[in-house]
Amino acid sequence: MSHSCRTLTYAIAVAAAVTAGFVIPVGATAAAPRVTTSDFNGDGYADLAVGVPEGTVGGKAKAGYVNVVRGGPKGVGAHGSIRVTQATPEVPGTPEAGDRFGASVALTDLNGDGIAELLAGVPGEDVTDRGTDAGMVIVVGGSTGGPGPGSTVLTGPSPSAAYGKSVVAADLTGGGNKAIVVGGTDKVVARVIVGEDSMVTTVVAAPMGGRAPVLATGDFDSDGTADLAVAYWTAGVPHTQSHVRLWRWDADRSEMANFWNTDNAGVTALAAGDFDGDGHDDLALGECREIADENIDDPCGPEELAKGGGVHVHYGSPASGSFGTRAQTLNQDTVGVPGVAEDGDRFGAALAVADVNRDGRDDLIAGAPGEAIGSKARAGAAWLLRGGAKGLLDAAGAARSVSWNQDTPRVSGVAEAGDAFGAAVATGDYNADRVPDVTAGSPGENASLGAAWLLPGGSADSSTAFSPRTLGLPYLSTAQKYGKPLGSH
């Protein structure tokens, strides 16, 4: 739709940011004593946001919507859901073909009131005076009574800027207020709260090969404040380049400052976690492959471990040390990882993190949507890679891992060609039993209607599936590709 440039006011529970026009909607008080950062409806259970940018809304193809699936005693999928679109009251805009509302999603408590807000990217949005596909990111307030008011975080400055291809939020300044980071065409920008003001700053502007920049947050310099990880790559336009870069807030200059890089590495996913339990965040690079023509520094580890997709982990160090000097690499040919590495598996194309076994070390969930299950090409699979004293690999270089697909015993469904199980993965304590759960998306399921799977406690036991059909969503005859992206904390 052609959308005027109305922006958001940022209401903070403790101190208000007074910059005109920038306010995050205030949600309701949580009804239960449990604490979670992705509780959109205030019932004390973590919820899951499923972006459905291919979804039809009001007859408009690919207008897109976000399905917030409620958590509860039985986890997600058994307690209903909320469908949020640009036709939802107080959400900016109007559904139009190609808007792709929900192309990126995040559920996070932006103002510290115990209720999560929904961030949704709309890269196909046309913006008045800015042009076709300028794009935007919208925030929608959570509430015990359903979606609260929504408003605009950022709009793209020009045609095809496609703001909203990716989005994350974190306290990057250390001031207790969240910064919202937005990826678009060849650009990453951040809306940052500084004291009582907000500002927009460009983090990086460079060719990105038409892909969405990959974003993640974690404390990579061990200073107690979140940092931003950005990955992007292009081949031959205007020249081959690929980067994974870390940025932190420079208070003196009021801008994001680059402090660490690994070049020539092209990745599909990033995830931060403390996989060795030393108290310092590590960074996992998913489906890591060397893009440069010449072998400069093995940016993704041994070349043979890139076959089928490799996961390359840079480990954090004490504040006096250097981030990333210790690294590990694994793929399906690594001892302890079920399966065999084959071209096109896309191992690590989706990543999520949680301490599933609660041993004080984070575990990594990795999806491989291109994995063949028997003769069924691209049926897809996902792995739980357990953290340990040395990280994801032990002293002998072996992993501790289990895998799931639709032919795994006790996992519902049947693996079929093109299901793309594991195209997206997420974690959250959806039943509030203090044990993280895993969800995996399968956007190719049922002729690309799509579905998602809940693996309670990271186990196939009692796993269930949910889909537009089971949740009573409309347009069941269209290819909605439900299950990618997923957003939860």
> How high is the pLDDT of residue 108?
94
Structure tokens at 210: 């038409």
Q: Which strand (E) or helix (H) includes residue 48?
A: strand 48-52
**pTM for the whole thing?**
0.93
Count each helix (H run) and each strand (E run) in the chain, helices first: 1, 31
**Token digits of residue 3:** 């959308």
- The residues, any chain, with a CB within 8 Å of residue 252's CB and separated by 6 or more, are none
The secondary structure of residue 47, as a DSSP letter, is -
Locate the DSSP E strands across 206-304.
214-218, 227-234, 241-250, 255-263, 265-266, 269-273, 282-290
What gap in Å lies between CA 332 and CA 340, rounded to an integer? 5
- Which pLDDT value is given to residue 25? 59
> Nearest-CA neighbor of 278 among 205, 353, 361?
361
109 token code pair: 């408590």
- The amino acid at residue 45 is Y
Q: What is the mean pLDDT of each run of 10 residues along the chain (489 residues)?
A: 38 27 47 60 95 98 98 96 96 97 96 92 96 97 89 96 97 90 98 84 95 97 95 87 94 93 93 96 95 72 92 87 91 97 97 96 98 97 98 97 96 96 97 96 98 96 96 97 90
Q: Indicate the residue type of 84.
A: V
Q: Which residues of 276-298 are buried (b: 16+ CB within 10 A; e: fewer)?
A: bbbebbbbbbbbbbbbbeeeeeb
